[in-house]
Amino acid sequence: MTQNVFDSTMADRIAVVTGATAGIGYETVKRLVGHGCSVIANGRREDRLRDLVLEFSPECVATVRGDTADQAVVGEMFDAARETFGDGAREADLVVVNAGRGLKGSVVDSDTAQWEEMIRTNLLGAALVVRHAALRMIADLERLSSRGASWRDRPHDIVVIGSTVGRHVSPFSSMYGSTKFGLHGLVEGARRELGPKGIRVTLVEPGFVRSEFQGVAGYDPAWFTGVVDRIGPVLEPADVVRALMSAITQPPWVHFNDIVLRPTRQDYP
Ligand SMILES: NC(=O)c1ccc[n+]([C@@H]2O[C@H](COP(=O)([O-])OP(=O)(O)OC[C@H]3O[C@@H](n4cnc5c(N)ncnc54)[C@H](OP(=O)(O)O)[C@@H]3O)[C@@H](O)[C@H]2O)c1
């Protein structure tokens, strides 16, 4: 495969990845480090964050533990990116808004005790990270322009992990889907606002991906096995990361707005 010229600039990039302790977020860190990026990895589990630094080295991975719906934690992630990898001046130019969780069931039969945490993480937390990322990137672009460079010289990406259930209503997980519908609207609004400034805001919407997601969401393992038997193989986190990489390695003036990917045999949602 021919290498895009912007593949080579990946080594220069400073990334923030939320929800990096498992699944898609972990694979994203692995892939970005493989391209030479410096990464701030976030998640709530301390031991997993420690393991990430041991696996990839503190030269390229630093961590900020905590909830992405907490403003102080989000601010800390971006400060850490600038101070640890940006010589105190350069901001993160690649932010992957991935932290999230599922929940089995509809508005009628899902567990109401889990609604608040899910909405906080999937919608409010994601909105906070998009907001902070946007403000830091705007500042970074102003810094570039004061040195005679522009958005065309350095890509700036905010990539948000949505879901096919944020585009197509799924009765078996409609409470979760409603958070991803909200995210879908938020991301399109941000794209329209930030695109003209040279910041790409990309929504990646996967179908079924095998990860810790199913356990956290409370899916019945026998039900999930049935899904895999019917439509499998389902996606692996690395499949989602390949799709994400195809967007961020484009030249800065090319933008894949939305990427929807499903297991080939997934008909619905
Ligand atoms: N798996 C699927 O079928 C599927 C399909 C479509 C979209 N998605 C979306 O893809 C994203 C990643 O899911 P995944 O499949 O990789 O699930 P996963 O394996 O369960 O990973 C979720 C990650 O998010 C972190 N996280 C959860 N709540 C957090 C919070 N409040 N603050 C910070 N980190 C938090 C978790 O780490 P800690 O527990 O350490 O905090 C973990 O690292 C989610 O947004 C999910 O909605 C998944």
**Tens digits of residue pLDDT in 191-229:** 999 999 999 999 999 999 999 999 999 999 999 999 999
What spacing in Å lies between the alpha carbon of 261 and ligand 1's midpoint? 17
* Token code pair at residue 168: 């197509």
Distance 200 CA to ligand 1 centre (A): 22
User: Which pair of structure tokens corresponds to residue 234?
Assistant: 């389902």
Q: Do 25 and 19 meet the contact criterion of CB atoms below 8 Å apart? A: yes
Q: What is the pLDDT of residue 9?
A: 77
Q: Is the CB of 161 under 6 A from ligand 1?
A: yes
Question: Residue 6's pLDDT band (boundaries 50, 70, 90)?
Answer: low
Q: What six digits make up the tokens of 220?
A: 């019945």
Question: Rounded mean pLDDT of 60-84?
Answer: 98
Mean pLDDT rounded to a whole number for the chain = 96
Statement: residue 8 has pLDDT above 70: no
121 C-beta closer than 6 A to ligand 1: yes
Site to probe by mutation for ligand 1, drawn from 29, 211, 240, 258 as the one with most ligand atoms within 8 Å of Cβ, is 211
Classify 206 as helix, strand or coil. Answer: strand
Ramachandran region, residue 202 (left: φ > 0; alpha: ψ -120 to 50; beta: rest) = beta
- Residue 99 pLDDT class (50, 70, 90 cuts): very high
Instruction: Provide the b/e sequence for 77-96 (b: ≥16 CB within 10 Å).
Output: bbbbbbebbbeeebbbbbbb
Q: State the distance from the centre of ligand 1 to the C-alpha of 145, rounded, in angstroms.
A: 36
In a 10 Å sphere around its CB, with 0-12 CB exposed, 13-18 middle and 19+ buried, how is residue 176 labelled? buried
Percentage of the residues of the chain whose pLDDT score is greater than 90: 95
Domains of the chain: 5-261 (3.40.50.720)
Cα separation, 157 vs 77, in Å, equals 16
Task: Give 123-153 pLDDT, tens digit per residue.
Answer: 999 999 999 999 999 999 999 999 999 999 9
Element (H, E) at 259: strand 258-261
Task: Identify which of 213, 216, 260 to mutate to test ligand 1's pocket (most ligand atoms within 8 A of the CB).
Answer: 213
C-alpha to C-alpha distance for 245 and 265, rounded to whole angstroms = 23
Q: Which residues, in sequence order, are bridge partners of residue 63?
A: 41
Q: How far is the CA of 25 from the centre of ligand 1 (A)?
A: 7
Per-residue confidence (pLDDT) for residue 197, from 0 to 100: 98
23: pLDDT strictly greater than 70: yes
Give Cα 176 to chain centroid, integer Å: 17
Q: Give pLDDT, residue 171.
A: 86
**Gap from CA of 37 to ligand 1 centroid (Å):** 22
Compute the distance between CA of residue 120 and CA of residue 129 in angstroms, rounded to an integer.
12
Q: Which three-class secondary structure state does DSSP give residue 41?
A: strand
- Higher per-residue confidence, 2 vs 68: 68
Q: From the CA of 117, give the closest atom in ligand 1.
A: 31
Residue 4 has pLDDT above 70, yes or no: no
Residue 172's pLDDT is what?
86
Atom of ligand 1 nearest to the CA of 162: 7
pLDDT at 255: 97
**Cα–ligand 1 centroid distance for 233 (angstroms):** 20
- The answer, yes or no, to whether residue 2 has pLDDT greater than 50, is no
Tell me which residue of 62, 60, 67 sits closest to 41, measured CA to CA.
Answer: 62
